[in-house]
Structure 1
Amino acid sequence: MVTVREAKLEDIKDIAKVHVDSWRTTYHEIIPIDYLNSLNYKEFEDKWKSRSLKGVFVAQDEKGSVFGFASFGPIRSEQEGYDGELYAIYLLEERQRQGAGRALLAKGAEFLLQHGFSSMFVWVIEQNPSIIFYQAYSPERVAEDNFEIAGVRLKEVGLGWPDLSALKTLLNR
């Protein structure tokens, strides 16, 4: 059973671990392994400690162990027609495809709606195998960009849901 709840300061260590471990498993064929191996739990903890946890949710199992998180808030880039953003959603590899991602996305959609947002946008590395997760909920492809990480040029696509209420309904079926 999955429980999704608001993140607390005590969750930061677990969030950092999920963040690093998920990057290593998700991007191992996309980003150089040396870069992924250099990711440091403590550095990620420090980054998370410097942020607000407003709009951050964790997925935990029946024993209370955190195995996933998602972060939502106001859009950070200019995207016509979009006001909310999914900043990140990561699950430990062994807990993927079991409904936790959907539950986190639903909680985030609800959060954004409660805070006056009407739409949601997310950037996804095009080669990310988890892009199919987003595509399952019929987003519009609204933007493209390129960036470099560890010497590798990557393409990211901007996916959006112009009607957040419709997405929430879809997620809660």
Structure 2
Amino acid sequence: MVTVREAKLEDIKDIAKVHVDSWRTTYRGVVPAEYLNSLNYKEFEDKWKSRSLRGVFVAQDEKDTIFGFASFGPIRSDQEGYDGELYAIYLLEEHQRQGAGKALLAKGVEFLLHQGFSSMFVWGIEKNPSITFYQAFSPERIAEDSFEIAGERLKEVGFGWPDLSALKTTLNR
């Protein structure tokens, strides 16, 4: 059983742990191991403490243990026709493919719609094995770019949903 709710300040430590641990499993073999091994909880906690938690949602189990999070808000890049963005969605490996990602996505889409956004964009590392999660909800592939982590050049793909209301309908099926 998964519960999705708005993140609170007292969740930051758990969000940081999920962030680091999920990066280490999701990007194993994609991002250099030295970089993944260098990630630490305290740095991620500090980064989360410096951000607003508006548009951040957590997934927790029946014991109230946080095992995933997602973050949404205004688009940060110039993508014609898109106004909202899914910044991040991460789940601990043992909780993936059980519906929590879809529940987080649905909560974020509702949030964006309530804030007046009509579309949503997301960047994903092309070699991320979880990129199929986005593809399951029929986005348009609208952009490509690349960036560097620890000397490794990584290609990223931009997906977009031009109609958030249609995505909400799909997610509620």
1:50 aligns with 2:54: no
* Per-residue deviation, 1:99: 0.1
In the alignment, residue 74 of structure 1 is paired with which amino acid?
P
Residues 126-165 of structure 1 mapped to structure 2, 5 A cutoff = 126-165=126-165
Q: Distance in 2 between matches of 1:61 and 1:78?
A: 37
**Could you say which residue in structure 2 is the equivalent of 1:34?**
34
Deviation at 1:125, TM superposition (A): 0.3
Provide the aligned length of Structure 1 versus Structure 2: 173
Q: C-alpha deviations, 1:58-115, integer Å up to 9, x for none? A: 0000010000000000000000000000000000000000000000000000000000
Q: Which runs of 5+ in 2 are unaligned?
A: none
Q: Distance in 1 between matches of 2:32 and 2:120?
A: 30
- Residue 96 of structure 1: aligned partner: 96
Which residue of 1 is the match for residue 63 of structure 2? 63
One-letter amino acid of the structure 1 residue matched with residue 103 of structure 2? A
Give the alignment's Cα RMSD to 1 decimal. 0.3
Counterpart residue number, 1:15: 15
Return the TM-score normalized by structure 1: 1.00
Percent of aligned pairs with the same residue?
A: 86
Deviation at residue 34 of structure 1 after TM alignment = 1.0
Aligned to 1:74: 74
The CA deviation at 1:42 is 0.2
Letter in 2 for 1:165: S
Give me the whole-angstrom Cα distance separating, in 1, the residues matched to 2:78 and 2:35. Answer: 29
